[in-house]
Amino acid sequence: MITRLIEAHSVDFATLRKPPEHQLPVDAGTTMAAPHRTLSTARWMLTFAKIVECGGISAAARALDQDKAVISRQLRDLERSLGLRLLNRSTQHVSLTDVGRAIHDRAVRIVQELDGVRSDVEHVLAVPSGVLSISTSVAFGRLQLVPLLPEFIRRYPQVQVELCLLDRSVDLVEEGFDLLIRLCDEPPQHLSAARICDLSHVLVAASGTLAQAPVIRQPEDLAGRNCLFYGFRNRHTTWQLLRGGIAHAVSVTSSLSVNSSEAARELALAGMGVALLPRYAVAADLKNGRLHRVLPEYRVEGSTGNALFILHMPGRYQSPKIRAFIEFLRSHWLPTPPWEQN
């Protein structure tokens, strides 16, 4: 950026009328490769502008928190690199030469350009903006995330959200997402993870299912029922139930296998069996009585993860749009997410 600014404000020294006393021999010691010379000249020009602004080398050194000798050397290097005397110096004060005045005008423009760049960067870092690409599971996204998006967009109108709902593992880097909202027990170590909340799982069934014999009074009674769970091409599994420090492992079977918690929920609503599902997927059904808890006194281990994480690329500086979205979700889902409230 500095290189481009210097080149944009480069001086055609051939057009400057320079009295002989303004000319200095170019110091061979200042000769360097072009990119390094340009960057060094940029640094020296900024120092030169500060010297003029402050009215002297000592005052400029104090303003820049630099040693006076460093500031003096940078001015000397600038003059030698240009072959021009820019300042008349005495023990009391400094004054611009005629050619120094022309160079100073350009130096001031460079300072103003850099201040503008800094202001633009600070604005970008302060205001969430741009495209925010997010992926999460179909059921969680549809039931819990999508309803919040209108409020987020109203709050941050300069952010455009791209939401991809997928019931499969997603590679954040390869597939170009900013954020993954993942239901798991442990997040991948190569990504930064913000733990949002715990996730509970419940056993649920429709009224018609519960009316069928035999009555489900203990975990072992599940072995005689059709059970619904997340697992494509897997009709046999073991459910873990815990009560009073005692664990119960129950082998269950299903006449159907699905790879979607929404599909398992729909089957439970249709009276096809007892379903093990994350609470967020059936909270509304439990509230309106379409589904009922089975063995509610037991805690059930889920198969889709027991915590909710937001994953993003690691880095020292977090994008404002990412930071804003994480804090937005925290404000809605902490300390207890609505689907976990009785």
What are the tens digits of pLDDT across the range 24-73? 554 544 444 555 567 788 888 889 898 888 888 888 888 888 998 999 89
How far apart CA 162 and CA 182 sit, in angstroms, is 16
Beta bridge partners of 313: none
Token pair in block for residue 7 = 């080149």
Exposed e or buried b per residue across 125-161, where buried means at least 16 C-beta atoms within 10 angstroms of its C-beta: eeebbeebbbbbbbbbbebbbeeeeeebeeebeebeb
What percentage of the chain carries pLDDT values higher than 70? 86
Token pair in block for residue 239 = 């459910």
Strands in the chain per DSSP E: 87-89, 94-96, 130-136, 159-165, 179-184, 192-198, 201-205, 227-228, 236-243, 246-253, 274-278, 292-293, 299-300, 307-312
How far apart CA 261 and CA 280 sit, in angstroms, is 10
| Of 6 and 284, the one with more pLDDT | 284
- Write down the pLDDT at residue 14: 41
- Write down the pLDDT at residue 317: 60
Residues 60-82 have pLDDT tens digits of 888 888 998 999 899 999 889 88
Q: Which residue has the tokens 């602004």?
A: 53
Are 202 and 261 in contact by the 8 Å Cβ rule? The answer is no
Phi, psi of 3 (to 5 degrees): -60, -45
| Of 231 and 309, the one with more pLDDT | 309
**Mean pLDDT (whole number) for 255-275:** 93
Residues 152-194 have pLDDT tens digits of 999 999 999 999 999 888 998 889 899 999 999 889 888 999 9
Residue type, 40: S
* Confidence class for position 120, pLDDT limits 50, 70, 90: low
pLDDT at 285 over 80: yes
| Of 34 and 265, the one with more pLDDT | 265
Total number of residues shown for the chain: 342
| Of 12 and 143, the one with more pLDDT | 143
**Mean pLDDT (whole number) for 188-209:** 93
Are 133 and 327 in contact by the 8 Å Cβ rule? The answer is no
Whole-structure pTM value: 0.64
